[in-house]
Structure 1
Amino acid sequence: MAQTGTAGPASIATGPVTITEVVQSALRDYPQIHVSQEEFNASVANIRLARTAYLPRVDGLAQVNRATRNNIFGTLLPQNTIPSISGPVIGSNNGGSVWGSATGLLVSWQPFDFGLRHANVKAARAAKDKADASVQRSQLEVTTAAADAYLTLIAAKQIEKSAAAAVDNWDVLLRTIHALSSAQLRPGADESRIEAELAMARTQLVYARQADESGRATLVKFLSRTGDINTSLDTGRLLSELPPGGDEEVPFQTADHPVMAEQRANVAQSAAQLRATERSWVPQFNVEGAAYARGSGAEVDGHRLPGANGLAPTVQNYAAGVNITFPFMDFASIHAREAAQAATLRANQANEQLADKALQEQFAKAQAALRAAREVAANTPIEVKSAHMAFDQAKARYQAGLVPIDDLAQAQRLVVQAEIDDSIARLNVWRALLQFDAARGNIQPFLQAVNK
């Protein structure tokens, strides 16, 4: 069951930001979590509200008035406009008024209702279960997004670092070509070609810095730190080691996923609401008891009493009995409500099946992505080594005049791409593992692997 906690004050930035800090901060302070928690609290209160229907109703009244006493024979249809009058017909029709007063207490209670109140309580409980499942889903979504934002920013920093190294490499190569061109050993067009490659590398560095700033802006919204947002990130083993394997082949059970729990609760709520609607067209039995007193400033023959007579109730009565009512013509509207609620139930059942298929698809894709990321991480060191060897050979052959500048530029681009791929290959395995555990419905195994 989800509980609402009071968020503590934002902490002052001290030391590098860790992925655990980001996840805990998002879980504690992110507004989406608070929204779902307060909706859960509202659903708990609604259960208490539904249970109040079992309590008797007690109404009290006290009244003082000044009115005429003219009465006639006849009938009035039920209405809420003309005040009622009691007493004999005395044949008067004048404006003389007297004091009147009344006080009373009415107790009403339904001893049974053919299961309507019980059905309403069950519907409220089902709504609470749905809200609880929504809290769990929100927590999974927010913590996954926070962890992914952390990994995305690390990846952006690595790409920026590689892009800066590429600019340096192209600059070194440009100076080499410039020396050869100045010595008339190579045409000036070769130097222009490398200058173009350097300009493109600088453009890529600008984009990499933009990605870094965008990633930082995304990460900040999950943090409660009030200090410098440019604090460094604690990468730990994310860039140097691969996560342990072995869990990728464990069968996936969608029943344990928060999304499926929410869908099941949604179906249960619709079913409970349908049962409550089906029990709406029944007689209502009310046991009622009343005690009251009245006072009047007029005699039975119509004579008015002087002074404050009538301001205090002087005549008492009580009554007790059973009141039975049945809304005969409500069957049409209730039948229509039942049809609508039954359709809603079937739609929610179909959504449950759809969610199951979507989770299976998401898990299969995450599993494939994790396998591919591990294979890529195993291959990138070979890619880097081969690219550097190819570049050294192309550079030597170019300096010997055996190949054109295009071959050397292509070899340099291969080195740049290989270093970028290798810089984020291991990190991409961690990112794939995060999505894999999120597809299972629990990212705690991922966090435990990071913190080992």
Structure 2
Amino acid sequence: MPKLSLYTIVLYFFLSGAVSARAQTLNLRTAIETALKNYGTIKAKENYANASGEGIIQSRREYLPNFTLSAQQSFGTINGQNGPLAALGGNVASSGPGLSEQNWNAAFGALYLSNINWDFFTFGRAKQRINVSKAVFKRDTEDLEQEKFQHQIRVSAAYLNLVAAQRLTRSQKNNLERAIIFKNNATVRAANGLIAGVDSSLASAEVSSARIAFTKARDIEQEQANKLGILMGINVTELTVDTGSINHVPKLLSTADTSTDLSTHPVLKFYRDRVALSNEQMDYYKKLMYPTFTFIGVLQGRGSGFRADYLLNQNEFTRNYADGITPTRTNYLFGIGLSWNLTSILRNTPQVRAQRYISNGLENEYELVNQQFHAQLALADNKIKNAMANYLEAPVQVKAASDAYLQKSVLYKNGLTTIVDLTQALYTLNRAETDRDIAYTNVWQAVLLKSAALGDFNVFINEF
């Protein structure tokens, strides 16, 4: 019974390890989802877009009237004097009679004030400010979307590079195994005097060369895994990807797709929104030249410890706190004002012209990027044709190289050919397998390039 329990435990851990090993295989969709969730630049641009959204709310609330409540309670004298003054900082706003001499009678006073100040008509300035905020939000949102799109392309390219690296590593491993078998046979035959001893040395050199090539392939694989991990927001040097996912021909190649409509390309939409934002800012600067109509409303209450006949009798005041702060006089005021700084026309005209130049520059950048994507689209079609030609030719090359290696191997075992011929056949087979692995990957890289040029990632990802 204890043996059965131990067997069960061992079987359980074996099965768990197998499931874990399978779970470590990373498919492309999972890599992209992880990258979009973890990559720092995307998270940063999400925050920028959220901030721009709050900017729209703030711009709308800028149109609300200014409503101010204030209250003050003070204690001091009210000596008055005739004379001019300006309202500079630190002046005292005490009001009192102009007496013939200074006195130091002091009492409490209070001022209670509510004020409404509303720029209710500004010739569309408030609305244009909201339009600018909306344009900023749209630009930042499109910036986020184009960053996601480009990052999907980057992750996919890194994934394909890692797939190619792992396939090349596997081919180099197979080549090393063939070289080891070749060396073992040569060593045995040389020991029995059937072949020259130098053949054994040459076989050992070929094993060393194959082992170095395998190590280099592993190094490249680890480097590509690290690059993919950085794009996914994780720190790794070992990743197992689905190398069999590119063994078939993309369905895109079986349909005639001549679409050149790039109007929905995420990157081009972002560049268009930059132009739109600049135009909105230019319109806003124009609005700054116009006057402003303002509604004014004031309600004021005042309290004072100085009585009404204080001018005639300077003893008519009290230092009682409650009497001084209790409001005894109230005033209100309503009005409409117009303000127009005429020099703003001179100041804002160069600013409008400068913004127009910026819009023209952004338009030039948009046209350049648009031309580049059309050129990339034409290049992608050519790359697909060339990659498919190599894709179809690669199996023929591998088959011929395999047959040649098998033939040379049999001939060498029977003493009918030299080790040089066998080594050349081994090298040819290794090169054919390498070309095959690269050809398979190049087809998918070409499809990815076309997807990037079209601005439609589904063209590529729907193949997986």
TM over 0.5: yes
8 Å CA contact 1:129–1:265 kept in 2: the answer is yes
CA distance 1:20–1:440, change in 2 (3 Å): same
Counterpart position of 2:217 = 208
Select the residue among 128, 131, 142 that pairs with 2:140: 131
Counterpart position of 2:248 = 241
CA offsets, 1:85-127, max 9 Å, x none?
Answer: 3333224434443212111111111221112112211111111
Total equivalences in the alignment: 437
Q: In percent, how many aligned pairs have the same letter?
A: 24
In structure 2, give the amino acid aligned to 1:240. N
8 Å CA contact 1:18–1:235 kept in 2: the answer is no
CA distance 1:224–1:331, change in 2 (3 Å): closer
Deviation at 1:234, TM superposition (A): 3.9
CA distance 1:196–1:89, change in 2 (3 Å): farther
Does structure 1 residue 155 correspond to structure 2 residue 164?
yes
8 Å CA contact 2:294–2:338 kept in 1: the answer is yes
Counterpart position of 1:355 = 369
CA offsets, 1:361-384, max 9 Å, x none?
Answer: 222232222222211110111111
In structure 1, give the amino acid aligned to 2:404. A
Does structure 1 residue 252 correspond to structure 2 residue 265?
no
8 Å CA contact 1:71–1:91 kept in 2: the answer is no
Select the residue among 325, 347, 368 that pairs with 2:382: 368
Counterpart position of 1:305 = 318
Deviation at 1:200, TM superposition (A): 2.4
**Matches of 2:381 and 2:209, distance apart in 1:** 36
Counterpart position of 1:4 = none
CA distance 1:367–1:90, change in 2 (3 Å): farther
**Matches of 2:80 and 2:272, distance apart in 1:** 64
Deviation at 1:401, TM superposition (A): 7.5
Select the residue among 174, 184, 201 that pairs with 2:183: 174
**Matches of 2:419 and 2:104, distance apart in 1:** 117
**Matches of 2:390 and 2:167, distance apart in 1:** 17
CA offsets, 1:125-148, max 9 Å, x none?
Answer: 111211221122122122222333
Partner SS for 2:332: strand
Partner SS for 1:172: helix
**Matches of 2:338 and 2:258, distance apart in 1:** 61
Does structure 1 residue 449 correspond to structure 2 residue 463?
yes
8 Å CA contact 1:29–1:224 kept in 2: the answer is yes
Select the residue among 408, 433, 455 that pairs with 1:419: 433
Counterpart position of 2:204 = 195
CA offsets, 1:219-274, max 9 Å, x none?
Answer: 44566999x996743455x2431112145641222212001100111100000000
Partner SS for 1:111: strand
More displaced stretch, 352-361 vs 268-277: 352-361
Does structure 1 residue 283 correspond to structure 2 residue 301?
no
8 Å CA contact 1:43–1:128 kept in 2: the answer is yes
Partner SS for 2:260: coil
Q: TM-score, normalised by structure 1?
A: 0.87
CA distance 1:428–1:51, change in 2 (3 Å): same
CA distance 1:87–1:211, change in 2 (3 Å): same
In structure 2, give the amino acid aligned to 1:30. Y
* Residue pairs, 1:45-444, within 5 angstroms: 45-179=54-188, 181-182=190-191, 188-221=197-230, 232-235=240-243, 238-244=245-251, 245-247=253-255, 249-299=257-307, 300-301=310-311, 303=315, 304-308=317-321, 309-395=323-409, 405-444=419-458
Partner SS for 2:241: coil
Deviation at 1:207, TM superposition (A): 1.9
CA distance 1:225–1:78, change in 2 (3 Å): closer
CA offsets, 1:327-352, max 9 Å, x none?
Answer: 23334432332232122111111111
Deviation at 1:306, TM superposition (A): 2.6
In structure 2, give the amino acid aligned to 1:321. G
In structure 2, give the amino acid aligned to 1:149. A
More displaced stretch, 334-343 vs 126-135: 334-343
More displaced stretch, 261-270 vs 160-169: 160-169
CA distance 1:372–1:136, change in 2 (3 Å): same
**Matches of 1:408 and 1:276, distance apart in 2:** 79
**Matches of 2:204 and 2:75, distance apart in 1:** 102
CA distance 1:82–1:160, change in 2 (3 Å): same
8 Å CA contact 1:25–1:222 kept in 2: the answer is no
> Structure 1 stretches of 5 or more lacking a match?
1-11
CA distance 1:247–1:310, change in 2 (3 Å): farther
8 Å CA contact 1:130–1:266 kept in 2: the answer is yes
8 Å CA contact 1:394–1:408 kept in 2: the answer is yes
Counterpart position of 1:33 = 42
**Matches of 1:387 and 1:13, distance apart in 2:** 34
**Matches of 2:356 and 2:72, distance apart in 1:** 48
8 Å CA contact 1:248–1:367 kept in 2: the answer is no
**Matches of 1:433 and 1:103, distance apart in 2:** 74
The structure with the largest helix share of the pair is 2
In structure 1, give the amino acid aligned to 2:388. R
**Matches of 2:123 and 2:104, distance apart in 1:** 52
8 Å CA contact 1:239–1:424 kept in 2: the answer is no
More displaced stretch, 140-149 vs 99-108: 140-149
In structure 2, give the amino acid aligned to 1:160. T
